[in-house]
Structure 1
Amino acid sequence: MSPPSCWKWPRTEHIGGVDRFNVLFIGAGNIMFGSPEGPWNHSFRLEHKLGLRLKVVALIDPAVERANAILEKKRDSFVLSAYQDTRVFKTLDDFIENMQPKDKPRAIIIGSPPMFRGSLQPGRDIESQIFKHFPGIPLFVEKPIATGAKGEIKEAYTIAKTIRDTRTICSIGYMLRYLKAVQMMKQIIQDNNLTIMSTIARYACAYEAIAKIDWWDKSKSAGPVIEQGTHFCDLSRYFGGEVDMSSVQAHSLEWHENAGQLSKLTIDESKILPENRIPRVTSATWKYESGAVGSFTHVVALQGTNYSCELEVYADGYLLKLVNPYVQPVLHVRKPGDDFEQTHTFPEDDPFFSEISNFIDVIEDIEEDPESATILSNYEDAVKTYEFTWAIREASERSRKVQTSVA
């Protein structure tokens, strides 16, 4: 879940042409079709990228009534042509049984809940089902790639190997990598041949706006670091490099501790087993394989709707500080010879559109601007971020058990 706040639809450009571009949607939730809470909405970006070429051949979701209601709204709008022949199916197998040759997708967008993907277990193996029926078809997969048991991470690496070995185009929805501010940070590091010394990340969510009870249940969401903080753990890796997993240490503030009492909960936490209730704060530190040091703090504390998120990257003489990346990104840059920071803003930047646009451009081998037609997060890289977030959760739980035994 990304933070809700004030935001504007971006100006977008689409590819011209008249040939069909068939897309299969898996999942009819907010990430695919948007919500009042925030800017996520993959269908919107595809509509504006592909224009009249877009043909959504099917929408797969067990909640058939919701899926049909969404399609009714789409058909009553300017994007009718993309959805007028879209059919709804409960499962991928149902679609396969009823698919006609003209329905073969050119790309598949996986926006179903992470508990149903990233695994080889029946019912949670959507990638394997796709490999069987649509080998080589490009995939766009939402993050995190899974929220299953920690022991299933090796299965996610098996999926990554299949994608790599078959050279299947695959992009993962770590959209913050596509921010102009983030790419400017990368450019500064490259241009000045910098060696990263430290990354410091902070993610404070506005819990009052989170009314989905599954998010508060670790047995469903895997916890806030894995489900939500994953974006900043991923950005930390993007700048710091690979993490020495054995070095990860963490502490947590738990729901039952005095400082962990929340006054504005919009869900009934008593319906969640005590052992499955999420921590209010998780604070982690680690070493990168390069020798650099990283830290991340996730906080469930703010009320209202605005989140507070920052990432600092340090190198010799340099500080790169990214502030408010979800809503209105600001980049503060301090360089050698100057005690003051330069401030850069990026109005109307839309990383959601950029990640979808790059994905389509790679599929179509668009070469006018090869720099932009790049997938910045592949499946294997996303599995590494997933493994990292699990390491943080486990470290915090080990620390909690030690504290309890001492007490």
Structure 2
Amino acid sequence: MSSRRPSSNIERRLSERRNSDRPGLMGSRRPSIDPSRLVPMGMTSANLGDTFNVVFIGAGNIMFGSDEGPWNHSFRLEHKLGPRLKVVALIDPAVDRATAVLQKKCESFVVSAYQDTRIFKTFEDFIKNMSPRDRPRAIIIGSPPMFRGTTNPGRDIEMQILQHFPGVPMFVEKPIATGPETELDNTFQVAKAIADSGTLCSVGYMLRYLKAVQKMKQILNDNNLQVMSTIARYACAYESIAKPDWWDSAKSFGPIIEQGTHFCDLSRYFGGEVDIDSVQAHSLGWDEPAGKLSKIKFDENVIPPERRIPRVTAANWKYDNGAVGSFVHIVGLQGKNYSCEFEVFADGYSMKLVNPYVSPVLYIRKPGDDDETTIRFGDDDPFFSEISNFIDTIEDIEDDPEGAQILSNYEDAVKTYEFTWAIRRAAEESRAARLKAEAEVEAALALEAQSGPKA
């Protein structure tokens, strides 16, 4: 199968082999944290110290929460930093929304963090009007992904931060961008600029910070195991997704890139680097008999047919170390609850993570035991853990270098983004090939009908 970036893929793999005495293994040994160190938010106390200035970019649900999910970065930062937190600026072109969320904060017990916060439409406005005391110690980027992750004006917030605040740590939501696949090289340029500057950058792949995920990592590391296979399944409750843009592949860029990115990232986290050239995928289209959905909450006819999202995408691939991965994303459940599972196989071991977003359960089978051990993680908050580790890494408060780690940096996140695009492209190519073959059959039958019956 063709790949848009074959030379980059080959060059990366050559580089990794040159720099590792164990070819193919290095990519799967990603940073991990002892799961016992991932403490629930309610069992922590705020760090003591000086005022901690923060700039928020984006005033939407990711930053301030909603009924649709558990995300809420401001809430976690308030608990992590306590009275030290000072949000010096809230940047969002939707001033009314920013004003509303800020007012609500100022009417609550965290007023001290927001009483002096100023609202700006753009980052440039903040730069022009800031005073030296406003200089941030961290910048939290929660703006929509179509407005970041490139070097293009208006979509280059990371590059602007590097220019005006060199060295100031960034926390960036995932996916790091959504845009045409032709911009991937541009997104890798952003990653290189961040890495070359030495700027600390954490990306919000919070599932890496789950206690269950780190328990899986611990088992693999303690037993010196190589992953043989990863199997991921993500079935969303489409009835509860009423936002038309989500159903438009030209705006959200499809469920693999926008939603399935978490499980693609988990796959890379355990399996290592993906051989992009090996990715194969098939999809179920909206126009096929099995793709008809009965409870979409809006009129899908407003979206051009060629931009309607697939109902199912099934992908498989090879990792650089020879392991095999697969992922199935399904737009098929009704109601509100999703159904998600992630499974890892290694010599003698299987580990299956179920329901990671709400109440994670881990099923473990070990050598010498045909029965599974069940571990439940009911008190976990990976959103807090990723923010807590980000702040601790900035302040370098841990004596143990393994205590606070960034588990997903920007370059790592760009590779996940590249991977999701490879799956989408492979699915589209296989669909196009099938439609072409069907059209050729129809044309042949029509020609045969015109010619009359054969003698």
2:82 aligned partner, one-letter code: G
Other-structure match for 2:415: 384
* Match status 1:333 vs 2:333: no
* Match status 1:293 vs 2:310: no
Task: Report the Cα distance in structure 2 between the residues aligned to 1:234 and 1:286, rounded to whole angstroms.
Answer: 14
Unaligned runs of 5+ in 2: 1-39, 439-455
Could you tell me how far 1:219 is from its partner in structure 2?
0.9
* Match status 1:51 vs 2:82: yes
Could you tell me how far 1:163 is from its partner in structure 2?
1.1
Q: Of the candidates 158, 168, 181, which is equivalent to residue 150 of structure 1?
A: 181
Q: Of the candidates 81, 84, 100, which is equivalent to residue 115 of structure 2?
A: 84
Other-structure match for 2:27: none
Could you tell me how far 1:269 is from its partner in structure 2?
1.3
Task: Report the Cα distance in structure 1 between the residues aligned to 2:274 and 2:102, rounded to whole angstroms.
Answer: 43
Residues 321-360 of structure 1 aligned to structure 2 (within 5 Å)? 321-360=352-391
- Work out whether residues 18 and 52 of structure 1, in 8 Å CA contact, stay in contact via their aligned partners in 2: no
What is the SS of the residue equivalent to 1:219?
A: coil
Q: Of the candidates 54, 57, 61, which is equivalent to residue 30 of structure 1?
A: 61
2:368 aligned partner, one-letter code: G
Q: Of the candidates 265, 271, 276, which is equivalent to residue 245 of structure 1?
A: 276
Instruction: Give the aligned length.
Output: 399
Runs in 1 of length 4+ with deviation above 3 angstroms? none
Percent identity, aligned pairs only?
Answer: 72
The worse-fitting range, judged by mean Cα deviation, of 183-192 and 155-164 is: 155-164
Q: Deviations over 1:59-80 (max 9, x none)?
A: 1111100100000100000000
Other-structure match for 2:340: 309
Q: Deviations over 1:126-150 (max 9, x none)?
A: 1111111111110000000000111
What is the SS of the residue equivalent to 1:137?
A: coil
Could you tell me how far 1:267 is from its partner in structure 2?
2.4
Other-structure match for 2:14: none
Q: Of the candidates 21, 36, 56, which is equivalent to residue 52 of structure 2?
A: 21
Task: Report the Cα distance in structure 2 between the residues aligned to 1:251 and 1:401, rounded to whole angstroms.
Answer: 10
Could you tell me how far 1:18 is from its partner in structure 2?
4.6
Q: Of the candidates 379, 389, 392, which is equivalent to residue 361 of structure 1?
A: 392
- Work out whether residues 41 and 79 of structure 2, in 8 Å CA contact, stay in contact via their aligned partners in 1: no
- Work out whether residues 93 and 122 of structure 2, in 8 Å CA contact, stay in contact via their aligned partners in 1: yes
What is the SS of the residue equivalent to 2:251?
A: helix
1:146 aligned partner, one-letter code: A
Q: What's the TM-score, normalizing by structure 2? A: 0.86
Could you tell me how far 1:13 is from its partner in structure 2?
2.1
- Work out whether residues 117 and 127 of structure 1, in 8 Å CA contact, stay in contact via their aligned partners in 2: yes
Other-structure match for 1:6: none
- Work out whether residues 12 and 49 of structure 1, in 8 Å CA contact, stay in contact via their aligned partners in 2: no
Change (3 A) 1:12 1:147: farther
Could you tell me how far 1:166 is from its partner in structure 2?
1.1
Could you tell me how far 1:17 is from its partner in structure 2?
2.3
* Match status 1:136 vs 2:172: no
Q: Deviations over 1:168-217 (max 9, x none)?
A: 00000000000000000001001111111110000000111112111111
1:62 aligned partner, one-letter code: P
Q: Of the candidates 239, 252, 270, which is equivalent to residue 208 of structure 1?
A: 239
Change (3 A) 1:16 1:312: closer
Other-structure match for 1:259: 290
Task: Report the Cα distance in structure 2 between the residues aligned to 1:377 and 1:16, rounded to whole angstroms.
Answer: 23
In angstroms, what is the RMSD of aligned CA positions?
Answer: 1.1
Other-structure match for 1:171: 202
Task: Report the Cα distance in structure 2 between the residues aligned to 1:224 and 1:185, rounded to whole angstroms.
Answer: 26
Other-structure match for 2:312: 281
Other-structure match for 2:153: 122
Unaligned runs of 5+ in 1: 1-8
- Work out whether residues 12 and 353 of structure 1, in 8 Å CA contact, stay in contact via their aligned partners in 2: no
- Work out whether residues 209 and 385 of structure 2, in 8 Å CA contact, stay in contact via their aligned partners in 1: yes
Other-structure match for 2:222: 191
1:73 aligned partner, one-letter code: K
Task: Report the Cα distance in structure 2 between the residues aligned to 1:250 and 1:268, rounded to whole angstroms.
Answer: 28
1:254 aligned partner, one-letter code: G
